[in-house]
Copies of this chain bind each other. A is one copy, B any other.
Amino acid sequence: MTILDKINSPKDVKNLSTDEMNILSQDIRDAILKRVNDFGGHLGPDLGIVEATIALHYVFNSPQDKIVYDVSHQVYPHKMLTGRKEGFLNPEMYTKISGYSNPSESEHDHFIIGHTSTSVSLATGLAKARDLKNEKYNVIALIGDGSLSGGEAYEGFNNAAELNSNMIIIVNDNEMSIAPNAGGLYRNLDELRKTNGQAQNNVFKAIGFEYLYVEDGNNIESLISAFEKIKDINHPVVVHIHTLKGKGYEPAEIDKETYHWHTPGFIGQKTAQSEEKTYNSITKDFLLNKKNNNEPVIAITAATPGVFDFNPEFRNKMGKNYTDVGIAEEHAIAYASGLAKNGAKPVLALMSSFVQRTYDQMSQDLALNNSPATVLIYWGGISNADMTHLCTFDIPLISNIPNIVYLAPVNKEEYLAMLEWSYNQNEHPVFIRVPAGNLVSTGAADTTDYSKLNKYKVEYEGSNVAIVAAGNFFCLGQQVKEELKQKAGIDATLINPRFLTGIDEELLDDLKKNHKVVITLEDGEIDGGFGEKIARFYGNSEMKVLNYGSKKEFSDRVPLDELYDRYRLKKELIVEDIKECL
């Protein structure tokens, strides 16, 4: 029987000796490794925070004392100590316990959290409510150094400093974001580490916090001693703990970026470099080619280079033509706007779920200024993701902002033609929704002039029913077309709209002549999306319109097939609907 076997709630931690807690650390590490190797998930940050989590539960009394975990990348040990260890030890339970903080799993979690830089702001709200109700307990926000670069974190720190009451912020400094950190703040963290917290420059003290440094953030005794000092404190304090990302699993200690998050099956495996071309690889080729031509291209990421396979090799080759701004999507957009306005050629890559961290900058800094930057949106589409990482909202978000051109290519040739056009033009902010899945090639170069906005492409001219199939769902459109032919003898028109931000009025008007039904397919939320614009266009006509996409909802790890059923995104179901309409 391991020590972990005996832990069913934080109370059980309080009875352990230091030696037992050290053994427990190893039990927890084994369990983290097992789950991530079996099931995938966050590895490095969880391995680094094991001792601190044990010490937190030893010193504080959760759930009365409330601990908020930023971004949840380091929440596994907490889950194991709060009644959810089976989600790590028992493969059948992997899907029952999510990788993120979630109050529906446990009273020890206070929010559903999956985006970064939110913990201090949320905890400040908890603390202020406590004060208004004259209650007494500790409110603790645990935030990684990587998350500190996000504006919301800073806004939270600035306001937390004003609380005249208990507020404990633990800065878990493992010297890494997902990728290496960049920015002035990180030079200060470095200085603080090097001086055992004694450096004169101290950003936390500067904005009004008491400050405590713990050099060995993986030493349970040091941590307990620090936490005991500030337990029940009556003013805001920052405890800066220095931890080792990936601790206890050597490959993760060495290659921190690769093992921040990992897919299953890495133990004992060597990762083979694939030679196959992908949308990621052709994007990198495009960027390197521009750079090698000495053009003022600049590739930008906001701390998630792995999403686009912007690996160290690529980054080295790009050199000064690459910027990782850290978790700072707002800055990334404004920075791209400034670059574009001054004659450089920014290409900013963002994951769909994170582009929503920067609406006002897309609108004001970029679109209002018509800055000709290129923004690539990755992973947009319906998926079985955690509810915190859905990628279904980017079309409603982006496509209703004036001046922006949002393109949805359906194959390699279109994608590269759009990218080349966007890169060279000087009139519009252009977003491109990078196709999901494997590279699809037609073999025929795309010679479209994309400066003629909102011109849809008729892939096949039929009659009666027109299928407007955007981006990732172009394939589904083809399937529906086939099914209509086979099951209903209808020779449908197939249209690739390519533009998500406007409608081809001429073409749509033309369809009225010999079509009765138009269906729209988009891989994202219908509400506020692409298809509704077409429904509106036909509102005063006889044309029937059916819009397909995802419902307005936060789906949580629902299998894709189930979602496709729910949203009727299958050829048989769509053909059923069409037949009913005719």
Contact = CB atoms under 8 A, between A and B. Distances in A.
A308 interface: no
Interface string A170-186: 00000000000011110
Contact of A155 (B115, B121, B325, B354): B325
Contacts of A320: 131-132
A21 to B, nearest CB: 30
Contacts of A544: 539-541
A152 interface: yes
Contact of A115 (B188, B364, B399): B364
B536 A545 contact: yes
A357 B334 CA distance: 13
Given A396-B396, A532-B535, A158 B184 contact: yes
B149 A151 contact: no
Nearest to A200: B200
Interface in A356-396: 356-361, 363-365, 367-369, 387-388, 393, 396
Residue in A128, A207, A326, A538 whose Cβ sees the most chain B Cβ within 10 Å: A128
A218 B66 CA distance: 48
Nearest to A403: B554
Given A118-B364, A203-B203, A342 B126 contact: yes
Interface in A112-156: 112-115, 118, 121-133, 149-156
A183 B203 contact: no
Contact of A206 (B114, B188, B545): B188
User: What is the copy number of this chain in the assembly?
Assistant: 2
Nearest to A132: B296
A89 to B, nearest CB: 28
Contact of A337 (B122, B388, B402, B552): B122
A577 B128 contact: no
A581 B540 contact: yes
A405 B114 CA distance: 22
A563 interface: no
Contacts of A415: none
Interface in A505-539: 525-529, 531-533, 535-536, 538-539
A335 interface: yes
20 contacts: A115-B360, A125-B334, A125-B340, A128-B335, A129-B338, A132-B344, A156-B331, A158-B328, A357-B359, A358-B359, A359-B397, A363-B393, A364-B388, A368-B387, A397-B400, A402-B552, A403-B554, A527-B533, A528-B529, A536-B545
Given A112-B364, A403-B554, 5 more contacts: A129-B341, A150-B155, A156-B331, A183-B207, A540-B580
